[in-house]
Amino acid sequence: MHDVLDLTRFPLDAPDSPCWNDLVASSRATLLHDGLVNLPGFAQPEAAATAARVLAPKLAAEGFTHARRHNIYFRREIPGLDPSHPALTQFDTSNRTLCTDQLHRTLPERLYLWPPFARFLAAVMEKPALHPMDDSLAGVNVMGYGDGQALNWHFDRSEFTTTLLLQAPEAGGTFEYARDLRSDTDPNYDGVAALLDGHTTATRMPLAPGTLNIFKGRNTAHRVTPVKGNRPRIIAVFSYFAEPGVGFSDEERIGFYGRAG
C-alpha cells in the first residue's frame, strides 16, 4: 500500500509500534473531543487523483442513481411527533453509487480489504475488532455527486462512518454538521427544527482529496451541500462491523443500489 498511502505519516503497516500507538492515541483524543477526526494526506494526492480519473467515467456510465425525498430521520413518521412538526421537513438527496463488485483493484477496494486498515479503525474506535461485510455490493461504495446533487440533512444509523475523499468539486459539496444535536435520551425535536429552519449555524468542514474522515454521526446532524460545476465530488465510504459475516438483505440492496446482486 506504499504506492497509494502515506505510510510514513500514517504507519498503519506497523501496528503497535510507537508511531502507530501515537497516531491511534491522537486520533482517539480528537474523535472524543470533536466527534470526528480528519487525516489529510492519508492517501497520496496522485493516488486519489488517479482513482478519481478511473472512477468518474464508471460513475457516469454504470453508477446507480439513488434519488429520494426524506426527512432527517429517514423515517416516514416518528411516534409521538406530529407529522407537521418542522423537525420532519422533507429534503431531496441524490447521488450516483458504485458498489463493491464494481471497484475491483481500485484504491477503495484495496484499502477496504487491507487488514491493517480495519485494525487501525478498530483501535481508534476502541473496538476489539472490525470486519469487512460479507456482501458483494455494500462493503465499500463510491459515491459521486454531480452538479446540483447533494446529501441532505440526516442522522447516521451506524455509530461511526469512515470515508476517503477522492475528488472535490469546483464549488459546493461542503460537509456541514451540528454536533450532538440530540442524545440517546433526548431527541431535541425543537433543536432539530431550528437547524432545519436555518436558525442554528452548522459547522462547515471543507475537505481536501486524500483525506480520511472518521465521524460519529448517530446523534450529530450532517449534510453535504449541493455540488456546483462540472467536476463531481467523489468519495469512498467504508462499512465494517464488529461481527463477521454481516450482509444486507435483498430488499436493502435493491433499495440502496437498484439490484440484489
Looking at residue 209, its pLDDT comes to 98
Q: Residue 111 contacts by C-beta under 8 Å, 6 or more apart in sequence?
A: 1, 4, 5, 43, 117, 140, 164, 236, 238
140 in any annotated domain: yes
Q: Is residue 65 part of a domain?
A: yes
- Structure confidence at residue 109 (pLDDT): 98
1 lies in some domain:
no
Q: Classify residue 10: in a domain, yes or no.
A: no
**Owning domain of residue 125:** 18-257
**Which pLDDT value is given to residue 236?**
98
pLDDT per residue as tens, the chain (261 positions): 999 999 999 999 999 999 999 999 999 999 999 999 999 999 999 999 999 999 999 999 999 999 999 999 999 899 989 999 999 999 999 999 999 999 999 999 999 999 999 999 999 999 999 999 999 999 999 999 999 999 999 999 888 999 999 999 999 999 999 999 999 999 999 999 999 999 999 999 989 999 999 999 999 999 999 999 999 999 999 999 999 999 999 999 998 999 999
* CATH number of the domain enclosing 236: 2.60.120.620
Inside any domain, residue 3? no
- State the SS3 of 219-245: CCEEEECCEECCCCEEEEEECEECCCC
User: Which string of DSSP letters, residue by residue, matches 95-157?
Assistant: EEEE-GGG-TTSHHHHHHT-HHHHHHHHHHTT-S--EE-S-TTTSEEEEEE-TT--EEEE--S
Report pTM.
0.95
Could you tell me if residue 2 is inside a domain? no
Residue 233 falls inside a structural domain = yes
Residue 7 within any structural domain of the chain: no
Domain count of the fold of the chain: 1
pLDDT at 157: 87
